[in-house]
């Protein structure tokens, strides 16, 4: 069995490769039969949330354990931490353990880019980011793999986090210009594609139809029913919500609230796999909305590819249990 550190994980696959993996996983999830993907478990304690995400498919099984501890931000510690265990589905024998925070950042960026590829026009050259943390920067990095991004407009809430955002993006996507914005409204005014990557319980954009019309929204941060990064007007304008998985339909506020409030019907929510397969199309000249909540199958596809690449290249540390 091998152990893959965060550095190993981030070195083994390119952003473009991870997007291709997410396309394959979305098609598998949308198929009539195939992978076993139980619902994600949320285990609460006073300081945070433990997310447990198992999946079995394509000859392997994976379990990802992720802790989200918001208080870590004031301790100058990572808010999201975790471990993924990969095993052979035929024997159950473990193959690898790997840093789940790095895998999640990379995978979430790829799932966001998958949405970008299918819900925005092909010539998009700029991107807005509300939430310039780890997830926000990986959204920007991977977006460059599917669109000719030249400028990123990012909300600057703190100098330190903004500088980290710029440095990380420059390391992975040199030549992309980053413009600091003082508010989410400014981000919205500067570009037609807006990515939200926060843990906000309330919308982070103004609920103003005139400002939102004709734009494209990708919500990646919220992960529970009480959280919702997008305002109601986005759903009214779009008339639909593209989801990264069927699980999101019942897990996150962006999917639950519009239906409960009568803005969207259940039939107006559908998965990205339906767009990838061509079973459904949307008009990207109009307002579009996409929500990623994460799915264990996406993690499994990335973990398998990481393991195979690590074995080919001799990366990782051999460990024995």
Structure confidence by residue, pLDDT tens digits, 59-99? 999 999 999 998 998 898 988 899 999 999 999 999 999 99
| Tens digits of pLDDT across the chain (321 residues) | 999 999 999 999 999 999 999 999 999 998 766 799 998 898 999 999 999 999 999 899 999 999 999 899 889 898 889 999 999 999 999 999 999 999 999 999 999 999 999 999 999 999 999 999 999 999 999 999 999 999 999 999 989 999 999 999 999 999 999 999 999 999 999 999 999 999 899 999 999 999 999 999 999 998 889 999 999 999 999 999 999 999 999 999 999 999 999 999 999 999 999 999 999 999 999 999 999 999 999 999 999 999 999 999 999 999 988
d(CA 195, CA 308) in angstroms, rounded, equals: 31
- CB contact at 8 A, 224 and 257: no
Structure confidence by residue, pLDDT tens digits, 23-69? 999 999 987 667 999 988 989 999 999 999 999 998 999 999 999 99
**What does pTM read for this prediction?**
0.93
Burial class (CB in 10 A: 0-12, 13-18, 19+), 314: exposed
DSSP assignment string, 259-272: HHTTSS-GGGEEEH
Spell out the domains of the chain, with CATH numbers in brackets: 2-103+297-318 (3.30.1780.10), 115-294 (3.40.50.720)
Note the pLDDT of residue 223. 84
Note the pLDDT of residue 76. 86
**Phi/psi of residue 69, each to 5°?**
-125, 95
- CB contact at 8 A, 290 and 218: yes
C-beta atoms surrounding 131 within 10 Å: 26
d(CA 29, CA 27) in angstroms, rounded, equals: 5
- CB contact at 8 A, 303 and 103: yes
Helical pair 100-119 and 15-30, crossing angle rounded to 10 deg = 80
Strand, helix or coil for residue 134: helix
């Amino acid at each position: 069995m091998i152990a893959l550190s965060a550095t190993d994980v981030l070195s083994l696959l390119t952003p473009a490769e991870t997007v291709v993996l997410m396309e394959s996983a979305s098609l598998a999830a949308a198929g009539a039969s195939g992978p076993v993907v139980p619902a994600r478990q949320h285990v609460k304690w006073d300081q945070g949330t433990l997310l447990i995400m198992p999946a079995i498919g394509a000859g392997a099984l994976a379990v990802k354990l992720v802790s989200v501890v918001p208080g870590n931000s004031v301790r100058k510690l990572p808010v999201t931490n975790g471990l993924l265990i990969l095993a052979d589905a035929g024997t159950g024998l473990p193959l690898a353990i790997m840093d789940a925070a790095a895998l999640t950042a990379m995978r979430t960026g790829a799932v966001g880019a998958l949405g970008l590829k299918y819900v925005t026009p092909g010539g998009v050259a700029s991107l807005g980011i509300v939430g310039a943390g780890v997830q926000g920067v990986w959204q920007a990095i991977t977006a460059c793999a599917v669109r000719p991004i030249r400028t990123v407009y990012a909300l600057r809430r703190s100098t330190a986090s903004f500088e980290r955002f710029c440095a990380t993006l420059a390391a992975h996507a040199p030549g992309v210009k980053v413009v600091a914005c003082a508010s989410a409204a400014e981000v919205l005014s500067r570009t037609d594609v807006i990515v939200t990557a926060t843990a906000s319980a309330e919308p982070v954009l103004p609920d103003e139809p005139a400002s939102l019309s004709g734009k494209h929204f990708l919500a990646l941060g919220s992960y529970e029913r009480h959280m919702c990064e997008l305002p109601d007007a986005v759903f009214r304008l779009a008339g639909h919500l593209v989801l990264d998985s069927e699980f999101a339909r019942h897990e996150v506020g962006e999917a639950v609230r519009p239906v409960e409030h009568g803005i969207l019907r259940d039939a107006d929510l559908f998965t990205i796999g339906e767009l990838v397969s061509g079973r459904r199309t949307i008009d990207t000249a109009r307002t579009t909305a996409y929500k990623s909540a994460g799915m264990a199958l996406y993690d499994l596809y990335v973990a398998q590819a990481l393991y195979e690449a690590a074995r080919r290249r001799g990366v990782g540390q051999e460990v024995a249990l």
